[in-house]
Copies of this chain bind each other. A is one copy, B any other.
Amino acid sequence: MEVKSKVWLENRGKIFFGAGRSLLLKAIKETGSINKAAKIMNMSYRRAWSQIHSAEDSLGLPLLIRNKGGKDGGGAVLTDYAEELLKKFEKLQQQALLFTNRRYQQIFHT
C-alpha cells in the first residue's frame, strides 16, 4: 500500500495551475521554446499552447513573453510572475508531498 497526493491552485473555482502546467512551464524555461517543451512533455504544441493560454486567461496575467519571427522566432521566455509562480508552486508541492509521505508512514506503519 502506498500514499499518493496532489496539489493544485484554483482561481474562482477553476483549476489554473498544477503538476502538469508546472512541468510544462519548467520545460519552457529550460528550452526557451513552447515547441521543444511540448515535445519533452509528450504533448502537441496546440495542447501546450492552450494550457498556458488558459492559465494566463484565468490569472489575467501573461506567463510567457513570446518572440515571434526573426532569427530566434518561436521562442518563449517566462515572465517574472511565471518564474515566481513556478518557484513557489514547486516548493509547495514538494513540501506537501514530503509531509504527506512522512505522515502516512507514521500513521499507517507505526
Contacts and interface: CB of A to CB of B under 8 A. Distances in A.
Interface stretch (A23-31, A70-78, A96-104): A96-104
Given A88-B107, A95-B103, A96-B99, A4 B11 contact: no
Contacts of A8: 3-5
Interface size class of A (residues with CB under 8 A): 20 to 34
Given A92-B100, A99-B99, A10 B2 contact: yes
Contact of A92 (B2, B7, B92, B103): B103
A110 B101 CA distance: 26
B2 A9 contact: yes
Nearest to A7: B5
Interface in A80-110: 88, 91-92, 95-96, 99-100, 103-104, 107-108
Interface string A11-26: 1000110000000000
A5 B6 contact: yes
Contact of A104 (B3, B92, B99, B100): B92
Given A92-B104, A96-B100, A11 B1 contact: yes
